[in-house]
Amino acid sequence: MKKQYNITKRTVRIALFVALALVMYMVESLVPPVFAFAPGAKLGLANVVSLCALVLLGIVDSYLVVVLRCILAMFLVGNPTALMYSLPSSIFALSSMVLLYCFIFPKVSLMGISFLSAIVFNIVQLLVASWVVGNIYVVLYLPLMFLASAGAGLFVGLLSFFVIKHTPSNVYL
Amino acid sequence: MNIDKINIVKNSKPIKIWDLSILIFVVTVSVVAFFLLFNQKGAVVQLWIDGKYISDYNLNHTQSIELDVHLGHMCFSISDGKVFVVHADCDDQICVRMGEIDKVNQTIVCSPNNVILRIVGESDLDF
C-alpha cells in the first residue's frame, strides 16, 4: 500500500477530531453524572474520539488530538487545575490503548481496550489526586472507580466500534 | 494509520471472550475489595487540610462544623454516625455529591480546597 502524506489533509483531520472531542466534552458536562456511587466519575465520551483517532489516524496523530483536547478543554472550562488531572491520565490512558492496539489487538477487542484504558486513566487520576491533597487514602476509592470504568469503558468501546465500522473510508484514506 | 488493521476492526466483533474474562475478573475483584475495605462502622472522623492533620470529631455527637478554606467556605455535618458535606465553595461539588459516609477508611475529598474528611475506627484512636 502506498503511503500518501498530505500535510493539509492531516492537519484538517486532527482539527476535526479535536473539535469533535471538545464537543463531546461539553455535551458530557451537561448531563448529570451517570455513576453516582463513584466520586467524580464521568462517562468519558471524549475517549470515543481518542480511540477512533488512534485507529483511524494513527499513533502520532492520536497523541496530538489528546494533548490538544486537554489544553483546549482547560480554556473552555477556565480551570487550570483541570489540566493537572486530565493531561497525565489521558496520556497514560492513550499509551495503554496504543500498546494494546499495536501488540494484542486481535485478541482483545475495542471494548476491552477501552475498558483497560479507562482503568489506567482512573489509576493515574487517583494517584494525581492523592498527591495533590497529600493523602494516600484517596486511592482506596479505586474499587469504585474500577466499577465505573467497567461501565464507561464498555460504553465507550461499543460506541467507538460502531463509529469506526460505519465511517466511510474516504475520511481516513 | 494502517488500512489493513482498520478493516480488521471493521470486521471484528465488538467484544470477545478475552475482554469478557478480564471484565468479569476486574469487576469481581473490585466488588470483593470494596466490601473488604469498607465493612466496619467508624467512630471518629478526621479532618485534614493541605495534607496536615487538623482535628477529629466524634461521630456520635450530632454537630455541624464550619470551615474557612482556600476558595471560601465549607460546612460539613455529623449525625447518626454519618458525615456529609452540606456546602462547599468549589466549582466541581464532588464532595457534596459524595453524600454520606460512615465506614472506616471512607473519605470525602474536596481537591480544589484540599480538604479531606476520613473516617477511622476505635482501634486507630491512639494514632
pLDDT at B124: 62
Q: What is the pLDDT of residues A18-75, one digit of tens each?
A: 999 999 988 888 887 777 777 777 888 889 999 999 998 889 999 999 999 999 988 8
Across the interface, do A116 and B94 touch by the CB < 8 Å criterion? no
pTM recorded for the entire structure: 0.86
* CA-based end-to-end distance of chain B: 56
> B115 and B60 in one domain?
yes
Query: Which domain does B7 fall in, by range?
Result: 2-38
Cβ contact, residue pair B94, A58, below 8 Å: no
DSSP for B72-99 reads EEEEEEEETTEEEEEEE-SSS-HHHHT-
Are B16 and B78 found together in one domain?
no
Domain membership of residue B53 (yes or no) is yes
Please indicate, yes or no, whether residues B19 and B48 belong to a single structural domain of this protein.
no
pLDDT level of residue A1 (50, 70, 90 thresholds): very low
What's the sign of the alpha-carbon dihedral A138, A140, A142, A148?
A: negative
CATH number at residue B68: 2.60.320.10
Q: Are residues B22 and B53 in the same domain?
A: no
Instruction: Tell me the residues of chain A between 21 and 80 that have a Cβ less than 8 Å away from chain B.
Output: 33, 36, 39-40, 55-58, 61, 79
Q: What does the pLDDT read at residue A32?
A: 78
How many folded domains does chain B comprise? 2
Alpha helices in B12-81 (DSSP H): 17-37
Instruction: Tell me how far apart the alpha carbons of residues A48 and A39 are, in angstroms, rounded to a whole number.
Output: 22
Is residue A10's pLDDT more than 80? yes
Task: Write the DSSP symbol of residue B101.
Answer: B
Identify the pLDDT of residue B1: 56
Q: Are strands B115-120 and B52-58 parallel, antiparallel or unpaired?
A: unpaired
- Contact residues, A window 132-161, toward B, CB-based 8 Å cutoff: 132-135, 137-138, 140-144, 146-147, 150, 154, 157-158, 161
Spatial strand order in the sheet of B44-49: B52-58, B44-49, B115-120, B107-110
Reduced to 3 states (helix: H, G, I; strand: E, B; else coil), residue B1 is coil
Instruction: State residue A21's pLDDT score.
Output: 93
Using a CB-CB distance cutoff of 8 angstroms, which residues of chain A are in contact with residue B14? 109-111, 157-158, 161-162
| B32 and B49 part of one domain | no
State the pLDDT confidence band at A115, using cuts at 50, 70 and 90: very high
Task: Give the pLDDT confidence score for residue A30 in this predicted structure.
Answer: 83
Q: State residue B36's pLDDT score.
A: 87
Are residues B67 and B13 part of one domain?
no
Same domain, yes or no: B32 and B61: no
Stretch (H or E) spanning B8? helix B3-11
Nearest C-alpha of chain B: how many angstroms from A26?
A: 15
ipTM score of the complex?
A: 0.79
B6 has pLDDT over 70? yes
Q: How far is CA B108 from the centre of its chain?
A: 5
Q: How far apart are CA A29 and CA A36, in angstroms?
A: 14
Of A1, A108, A134, the CB nearest to B19: A108
For chain A, the first-to-last Cα distance in angstroms comes to 11
Chain B closest-CA separation from residue A144 CA (Å): 7
pLDDT of residue B66: 87
- Condensed to tens digits (0 to 9), the pLDDT of residues B20-48 reads 998 999 999 999 988 888 888 888 888 88
Indicate the Cα dihedral angle B121, B125, B126, B127, nearest 10°.
80
With beta carbons less than 8 A apart as the criterion, state whether A51 and A110 touch: yes
Cell, residue B69: 478554606
**Chain A closest CA to B86's CA: distance in Å?**
16
User: Chain centroid to CA A14: how far?
Assistant: 15
Residue B127 forms part of a structural domain: no
User: What's the pLDDT tens digit per position in B37-81?
Assistant: 888 888 888 888 888 888 888 888 888 888 888 888 888 888 888
